[in-house]
Amino acid sequence: MTAYHTIIVDTDGSDRSYRVVEHAAELAHATHARLLIVCARHRIDEHTPKAHLDRPGPETSPLHGSTPADTVLRIAHQHALAHGATDVDTHILDEPALPALLHLAAATAADLIVTANPHRSPLLAQLLSTPPIELARKTHCDILITA
């Protein structure tokens, strides 16, 4: 197995993306790599009133005191720790997410980016210009696109 030093995994808060985080965490554990979990900034992040978030209560979000992207990253971090990753960091990517992810990969000297394939059919994914396929075309590190 290739020894990775820095692995990046993206998540959007879906169950499927948390499974991808778990897979990346297991790989990070096996290779003693640092795991960077990234999430694209949600459009509503900047519209969430800070005063509302600071006030716990039934009217606040389930994980009050955070933006949606913060919440997604906190849950993904918990999944990563539960699946063996020990050196875990999180990052919120600004829009557009693909250039921000490529910049982060270069800045951290990432060896591997783990992402989900948004299409069930590998043939369809090859024919379409999906974000993971675009990522694979533009990055200089290994890409693991999971089903």
Give me the phi and psi of 33, to 5 degrees please.
-95, 155
State the residue range of the domain holding 113. Answer: 4-43+65-143
Surface-to-core class of residue 101, CB atoms within 10 Å of its CB (0-12 exposed, 13-18 middle, 19+ buried) = buried
Domain count, the chain: 1
The CATH number given to whatever domain includes residue 76 is 3.40.50.620
Tell me whether residue 85 is in a domain: yes
pLDDT tens digit sequence for 24-74: 999 999 999 999 999 987 655 455 544 433 433 333 334 444 688 899 999
> Hey, is 60 helix, strand or coil?
coil
How far is 8 from 35, CA to CA, in rounded Å?
Answer: 6
Mean pLDDT, rounded, of the chain: 80
Tell me whether residue 55 is in a domain: no
Tell me whether residue 37 is in a domain: yes
